[in-house]
């Protein structure tokens, strides 16, 4: 995504006239009907937290929730050509502005500046520093809420902060709320990047909205010119700021690993993958349908404890197995110990899609845990990542899946109707269904191996 702050941007009336999300955010619903004990708000720059989450910060702090604000950079690069402020001076100004804004919103909040370079944040470096800050604040338990910039915001620093927070949320099993900032500038309501089905709105009370506007005024170095000299122009134009005068704030709740993490933490094999004949037979059928004995690079989405992963690793030069549950990933890692080129990784799909090309993508018993839009996103990413001779293996339970939007048959039909792939093989019985998809044309094993 390429844009600059002084682009015209999308006017706020476009968003207000074509708003497409009716979902309302209830923070209490993330914690079994209670407020969190602690909230950790991550900002890439001073002012991000005010633009994206001031109302939320005010509400939780006012309710007595322990509030930490962690700011990755001092924002010293906002005016690189300023004739009146050096980067160090500007960073100091912005730190004080943030402290004044937070004092207005949450007087008891703890503010921490990490001092990383503005404009070149790296998620890997930020993860370690955020982990230290989280640990140093204490009280990081099940009722801790993590809030961070959205991973799809289009600004490199925002995306790095979002990815770092998402990794920690997965590791620590914390609910995560992501707030867009620049999305409202570069996107339009019709943009495919807008995750309408994931957006949740937090309606602000009158005093919360008023305090947010007052807090934004504290960031004068961004909302007004530093001086009349060229290079000191206001960074945030009135049209951009209008997006943050709404009577609500918008968040993207990242799918929590809570359900699946608790499931795997409570049982070494919650699905009976090792002991049930049904599961062993299903794996055998799926593996027997594969059109080749070996694959170069295999991607497995939703590996659970790694029973299928081990069998895939035995037939793959390399394997990347993903799951949202850290406990499941740890079990998979142990099971893959004899395969040096097999890796298990915590990831939330589709957000944390891995780089690289794969000639086998396995999606087994996870598609119905996604929303329809998320599944279509997965379809697009699979197609983009699939090698020319690649194979997609879909395998899902066909009976009702209580509490989730999709079922197994719907997952397969959506995939088949949305992906420009051909059906290589299909197997269907009362309990489960398997589809193998390839780039067209689908060539039989007998033909590809010279039998015919």
Domain borders along the chain are 12-254, 260-448
How high is the pLDDT of residue 32? Answer: 54
How high is the pLDDT of residue 263? Answer: 84
| CATH architecture of the domain with residue range 12-254 | 3-Layer(aba) Sandwich (3.40)
Per-residue pLDDT tens for 15-50?
999 999 988 888 877 775 578 899 999 999 999 999
Report the predicted TM-score, pTM, of the whole model to 2 decimal places. 0.61
Q: Is the peptide bond before 265 cis (omega within 30 degrees of 0)?
A: no
Residue 313 and residue 297: Cα distance in Å, rounded?
Answer: 9
Residues 6+ apart with CB under 8 A from 131: 168
How high is the pLDDT of residue 53? Answer: 99
How high is the pLDDT of residue 62? Answer: 97
Backbone angles phi, psi at 313, to 5 degrees: -60, -35
How high is the pLDDT of residue 148? Answer: 98
**CA triplet 60, 63, 69: central angle to 5 degrees?**
35
How high is the pLDDT of residue 141? Answer: 61
Residue 104 and residue 207: Cα distance in Å, rounded?
Answer: 12
- DSSP 8-state assignment for residue 31: G
How is residue 192 written in tokens?
């495919």
If we measure between CA atoms, which residue out of 377, 385, 333 comes closest to residue 354? 385
Domains 12-254 and 260-448 alike in fold:
yes
Residue 10 and residue 63: Cα distance in Å, rounded?
Answer: 35
How is residue 373 written in tokens?
């839009």
State which residues of the chain have pLDDT below 50. Answer: 255
CATH number for the 260-448 domain, one of 1.10.10.60, 3.40.50.12500, 3.40.50.150, 3.40.50.2000?
A: 3.40.50.150
């Amino acid at each position: 995504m390429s844009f600059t702050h002084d682009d015209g941007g999308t006017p706020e009336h476009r968003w207000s006239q074509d708003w497409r999300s009716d979902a309302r955010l209830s923070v209490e619903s993330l914690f079994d009907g209670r407020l969190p004990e602690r909230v950790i708000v991550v900002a890439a720059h001073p002012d991000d937290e005010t633009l994206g989450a001031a109302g939320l910060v005010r509400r939780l702090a006012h309710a007595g929730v322990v509030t930490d604000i962690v700011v990755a950079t001092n924002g010293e690069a906002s005016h690189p050509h300023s004739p009146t402020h050096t980067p160090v001076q500007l960073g100091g100004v912005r730190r004080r502005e943030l402290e004044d804004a937070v004092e207005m919103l949450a007087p008891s909040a703890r503010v921490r500046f990490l001092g990383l370079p503005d404009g070149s944040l790296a998620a890997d470096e930020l993860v370690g520093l955020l982990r230290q800050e989280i640990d140093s604040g204490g009280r990081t338990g099940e009722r801790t809420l993590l809030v961070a910039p959205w991973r799809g915001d289009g600004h490199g620093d925002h995306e790095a902060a979002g990815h770092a927070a998402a990794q920690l949320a997965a590791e620590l099993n914390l609910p995560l709320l992501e707030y867009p900032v620049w999305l409202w500038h570069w996107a339009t309501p019709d943009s495919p990047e807008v995750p309408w089905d994931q957006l949740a709105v937090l309606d602000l009370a009158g005093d919360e909205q008023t305090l947010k506007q007052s807090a934004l005024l504290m960031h004068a170095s961004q909302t007004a010119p530093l001086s009349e000299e060229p290079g000191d122009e206001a960074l945030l134009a009135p049209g951009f700021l209008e997006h943050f005068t709404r009577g609500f704030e918008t968040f993207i709740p990242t799918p929590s690993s809570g359900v699946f993490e608790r499931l795997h933490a409570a049982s070494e094999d919650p699905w009976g993958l090792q002991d049930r004949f049904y599961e062993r037979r299903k794996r055998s059928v799926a593996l027997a349908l594969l059109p080749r004995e070996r694959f170069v690079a295999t991607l497995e989405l939703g590996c659970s404890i790694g029973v299928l992963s081990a069998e895939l690793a035995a037939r793959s030069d390399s394997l990347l197995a993903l799951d949202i549950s850290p406990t499941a990933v740890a079990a998979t890692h142990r099971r893959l110990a004899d395969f040096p080129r097999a890796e298990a990784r915590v990831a939330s799909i589709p957000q944390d899609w891995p780089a690289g090309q794969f000639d086998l993508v396995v999606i087994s018993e996870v598609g119905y845990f996604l929303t329809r839009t998320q599944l279509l996103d997965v379809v697009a990413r699979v197609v983009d990542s699939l090698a020319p001779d690649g194979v997609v293996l879909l395998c899902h339970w066909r009976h009702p899946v209580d509490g989730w939007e999709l079922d197994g048959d719907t997952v397969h039909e959506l995939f088949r109707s949305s992906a420009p792939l051909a059906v290589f093989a299909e197997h269907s019985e009362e309990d489960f269904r398997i589809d193998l998809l390839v780039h067209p044309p689908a060539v039989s094993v007998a033909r590809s191996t010279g039998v015919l």
